[in-house]
Structure 1
């Protein structure tokens, strides 16, 4: 009877495609062609007798079966890597599985990951992003970078950094705002998932919070895109949103005015003593690097 255990290479390809939600990005990471990735995923699906992805024009999405299969595949690959290293020594790169909220990955990690990888050439960072708690419940990760209450995501954590709120808009709008009360002449784009928002900013500025016209976005990157499109004034959350603010061509409405947010970013894990060596090295590097930037 033929074994249903799939090829190890198929599993590696599946894990990369599932993590990146893209055959093209998986192909780049694995030094393959996108066509080869698609072919191997199809071979795995044929072997298992179930679709693992739904295909779309610009991306792929895991099916229910794919989501259920991903965590044990990642755990099995990690276990095999650790066993190989333990018995035979390091024989290649070590994988580090990292999950991060999107704005931190976009605005902070993109600035520092190259430095980390240059200092630790044997570690390959497998990064996936999300925004909601459910995003962080899918798949295996050594470390999670979250915003808000760390106890919802793991037993132990380190505070990475906080945030400062700054009203921002396109330059032609920002020039029309000379005083805090002028903010109320424009729609204010609110991100409802954050504890700190326009009410805190307007109260600090001694404006009338109830007088603002609110429009809503589900994350800060979308709020800035809306502001760039003329939908209103957004709140930058520096330093994590600095890169997006610059890319959107937004500027502070009240230069020098900023409000400290009430929440922070945390690095979360189950046990410090139980971290795998690449995860421990990344933790130490990240905390030191953020302090060196003056953000901690």
Structure 2
């Protein structure tokens, strides 16, 4: 087995993507961090990082090795705290798709923390499957197919789609066909999008001119700059829509999306206490908000 200290240094450097920042966190010199990582690589017989001038990046082997190292270190830490009582706080490691974290979770975390003052939430966000499949987490909140991420899941909520734009653009849209006068900003990673919305509105989808964004948050920013009409994905995008000064283009028109947000984990019975607490709170809290 490699030295435990080597593993701690490797994990810190992987998270920081920098030997210098890892050194600050560990109260070591950057040279010492580099040397301990090198010793671990020699022990394993494989490089774990690609070295660059001001940063480091995990190799394929490093990315594969990081999750079990994080899991092992966290298990050891939890066991130490549980037996010897060194800390009253328990860490919850949560990965979440960005728009849900931004538009939904940010509203409720204060409530969760008030109910569970001994739990510290370590939240990281991403947009792609790759973002949410790297690193260790107790729980993941994803959008789309839950089977691609974990063994077990709970459906959290779905979404409603409707077109939004700057007030001066929205004022010129009195019927669905008017939407085609402007570029339609599409998020290409979603199954539900402009094609579904236009078909529901009985407008020929092929007649629209599409421009693409990689996220709903980016689509809203583009609409804010007058580059076209975006699709709101309520309720997760409500705050972003208001912040961008956008408004619905066709009052009362909305389409049910075909995908949903899910809470992902490997084994319900194996969840640590803070993860079980968060799961129970999240499902209850979303239900009280009336979101489905």
Contact kept, 8 Å, 1:13 with 1:41, in 2: the verdict is no
Whether 2:240 is the aligned partner of 1:244: answer yes
Superposed, which structure 2 residues align to 1:116-155 within 5 Å? 116-155=112-151
TM-score, with structure 1 as normaliser? 0.84
Displacement of 1:37 after TM fit? 3.5
How many Å separate the matches in 1 of 2:50 and 2:243? 33
Change (3 A) 1:253 1:185: same
The total of aligned residue pairs comes to 280
Correspondence for 2:96: 100
Whether 2:184 is the aligned partner of 1:195: answer no
Change (3 A) 1:6 1:257: same
Correspondence for 1:256: 252
How many Å separate the matches in 1 of 2:89 and 2:27? 25
Change (3 A) 1:80 1:230: same
Displacement of 1:203 after TM fit? 1.2
How many Å separate the matches in 2 of 1:197 and 1:175? 22
How many Å separate the matches in 1 of 2:83 and 2:260? 41
Q: Deviations over 1:141-169 (max 9, x none)?
A: 11111111111111111000000001011
Structure 1: gaps (5+ residues): 27-34
Change (3 A) 1:163 1:71: same
Q: Deviations over 1:109-150 (max 9, x none)?
A: 111112211211111111111122222221111111111111
Correspondence for 1:63: 58
Structure 2: gaps (5+ residues): 39-46
Change (3 A) 1:141 1:294: same
TM-score, with structure 2 as normaliser? 0.85
Correspondence for 2:168: 172
Whether 2:24 is the aligned partner of 1:36: answer yes
Change (3 A) 1:284 1:168: same
